[in-house]
Amino acid sequence: MHGTAASAGADADTAGGRPAGVATTANAAAGMIEVLLHNEPVAGVRVTALDKPGEFAVVIPIPPDAIADGVQVILIRHRQSNAVLNAFAILSGDVLGDTLHTEVSLLRAELDMLKRAFRRHCVEAGAGG
């Protein structure tokens, strides 16, 4: 797979609530795509070759230990080259509240900065005109 493009898109599998998507990788078989949590293979992953060469449908059951306090990262990668095709994170517990609070605080600070800059611009434009 060296020198070739690799990617994976993700959607929600509405039937089962499992992440699902299409992985695209050149010169790979379905068995060459693996899904890892904590550097261990995730059980029950379905990888199915699609009609277009190099495209695979990937359905990932969320392991119970992925629903734990903190951030859990699930990697989708090419087994032979270890190239990461995609990854997604599951946030739960206290870290979720802290993360959202931090993001809102950062957005508020940026908004305040923009308001000050806009007011300063209005004052300068009014004084010059």
- pLDDT of 28 higher than 70: no
Q: Are residues 122 and 64 in the same domain?
A: no
d(CA 8, CA 58): 9
In percent, the amount of the chain with pLDDT more than 90 equals 17
Q: Are residues 64 and 101 in the same domain?
A: no
Q: Which of 17-31, 34-48, 61-75 has the lowest mean pLDDT?
A: 17-31
Q: How many domains does the chain have?
A: 2
Q: Are residues 69 and 119 in the same domain?
A: no
Structure confidence at residue 61 (pLDDT):
92
What's the domain range around 120? 93-129
Q: Are residues 16 and 71 in the same domain?
A: yes
Q: Are residues 106 and 121 in the same domain?
A: yes
Structure confidence at residue 121 (pLDDT):
92
d(CA 129, CA 61): 64
Higher pLDDT, 47 or 10: 47
Give the length of the chain.
129
- pLDDT of 116 higher than 60: yes
Q: Are residues 76 and 37 in the same domain?
A: yes
- Residue 1 located in a structural domain: no
Q: Are residues 67 and 107 in the same domain?
A: no
- pLDDT of 89 higher than 90: no
CATH code of the domain containing 54: 2.60.40
Q: Which of 4-8, 9-13, 46-50, 106-110 has the lowest mean pLDDT?
A: 4-8
